[in-house]
Structure 1
Amino acid sequence: MGITVGIVDEEALFRTGVRDALERAGEFEVVGEARDGAGAVDLAKRLLPQVLLLNLGGLAFAERIRAYTPDTRIVVLAAPHAHDQVLPALRAGVLGFLCKTGKAAEFVHAVRVVAAGDAILSPAVTRSLVAQLTQRSPENRDHARKQISQLSQRERSVLAHVAKGLGNVQIARALSLSEGSIKAHVSRVLGKLGCDNRVQAAMLARDAELCG
């Protein structure tokens, strides 16, 4: 069995196109489809897909899905004009955000990347996210700084490197520590901050202006 995937979108033709692209790649198994967020919750609970491709309308159900199936990694598929939803999606624990107008190969690549535990954003979404992050509110900054104050100096240093997008091996080299030690530090950082993944932790670090 390959990487198991669920597809959620109101357009049956779109679901079929994504399913065909994934199945042609030969390393994925589409275990179920749904039309909306409520169907996505049911699909996730019953079939436990490793990756769930979720339309923007289902974003409101993302936290519920993650509560039921915390190991399911979610990628949101949205129209090009929906970039204002990127931050809410990432804060909800989503690991990917792609435009529905993208090519089939982009969806295949995204599922592969997210299944490995990494985050992925389309180039247009990344540009929008950078613009949004430059407009940090004082409230978000103060809240983030309060959370980060729980961390030790070493944990803050690790978090700052995570926020720069570095992997564990790169952080280990930068701090002259073992990769295993960095993994342990990252795990503790996520636990203390109440973050589900590195993306959420990185966003918190940037809100706190920990890394500039």
Structure 2
Amino acid sequence: MIRVLLADDEVMIRAGVRAILSAADDIEIVAEAGDGHEAVELALSHRPDICLLDIRMPRLDGLDAARELRRVLPQAAVMMLTTFSEDEYIASALGSGAAGFVLKSGDPRELIAGVQAVAEGGAYLSPSVARRVITHLGTGQLGKQAGARARVEALTARERDVLALLGAGLSNAEIARRLHVVEGTVKAYVSQILARLDFRNRVQAAILAYEAGLVPDEGQ
């Protein structure tokens, strides 16, 4: 069972997200918070697998809450609830350790798929915002395509294979099946990749995979 903490200051949004996630047999909402400060406190009490945070909340916003959760409860993955108007926060959220982003207005199936993917050690971006996120980061934080390719060239061939599949949104188990290795081997490769690229999470590595051309652009 995937244990989820939900934090959003809008009661109606929380009710909607709760209803969607409760429809999945393998997901359980263990706590709900109305602001970031309460989210951190409840996370320490309930020890969820995933903290699903709204980006904009009173007292402590989702970005600061994510940073605090990274410090006090690093084993819990963080996902962000976002809207199109909040895309400018994505770069900051990546630096805060977020492993996924889902749109409040998106397909409910995306929310469930995202939680399941992150719980399996993967990363998730709602398809409708993935291109905007990649473009935004590609022109800023991660640099130009040439720079991305140069960074990827420092990896071994097998590490690049893993990075490409990671960039395509596959979980460790799915990558293991594709490469015909055990899941533990994939976990080791992912750790090596993050360390060599000096990244904090899989989302940052996935963005680099796109920038370097390891993952086909959907628009091509």
User: Is this a same-fold pair by TM over 0.5?
Assistant: yes
How far did residue 120 of structure 1 move? Answer: 1.5
Unmatched segments (≥5 aa) in structure 2: 57-61, 216-220
State the Cα deviation string for residues 94-139 of structure 1 (Å, max 9, x = none).
Answer: 11111212243332232222212221111221121232244246x8
Could you say what secondary structure the match of 1:95 adopts? strand
Q: Please, which moves more after superposition, 157-166 or 128-137?
A: 157-166
Q: Please, which moves more after superposition, 184-193 or 43-52?
A: 184-193
Q: Does 1:169 align with 2:176?
A: yes
Could you say what secondary structure the match of 1:74 adopts? strand
Amino acid at match of 2:175: N
How far did residue 10 of structure 1 move? Answer: 0.5
How far did residue 49 of structure 1 move? Answer: 0.8
How does the TM-score come out when normalised to structure 1?
0.76
Cα gap change, 1:171/1:56 in structure 2, threshold over 3 Å: closer, same or farther? same
How does the TM-score come out when normalised to structure 2?
0.74
Q: Does 1:92 align with 2:99?
A: no
Aligned residue among 61, 65, 72 for 1:61: 65
Does the 8 Å CA contact 1:168/1:183 hold for their aligned counterparts? no
1:5 is matched with 4
Cα gap change, 1:136/1:160 in structure 2, threshold over 3 Å: closer, same or farther? farther
Q: Please, which moves more after superposition, 179-188 or 114-123?
A: 179-188
Could you say what secondary structure the match of 1:102 adopts? coil
Task: Report which of the two structures shows the higher radius of gyration computed on alpha carbons.
Answer: 1
How many residues end up aligned between the 2 structures? Answer: 203
State the Cα deviation string for residues 19-71 of structure 1 (Å, max 9, x = none).
Answer: 22222333222111111111111121111111111001212221211221112
> Alignment RMSD, CA only?
3.3
Does the 8 Å CA contact 2:49/2:76 hold for their aligned counterparts? yes
Q: Does 1:52 align with 2:51?
A: yes
Could you say what secondary structure the match of 1:15 adopts? helix
2:123 is matched with 119
Percent identical pairs in the alignment equals: 32
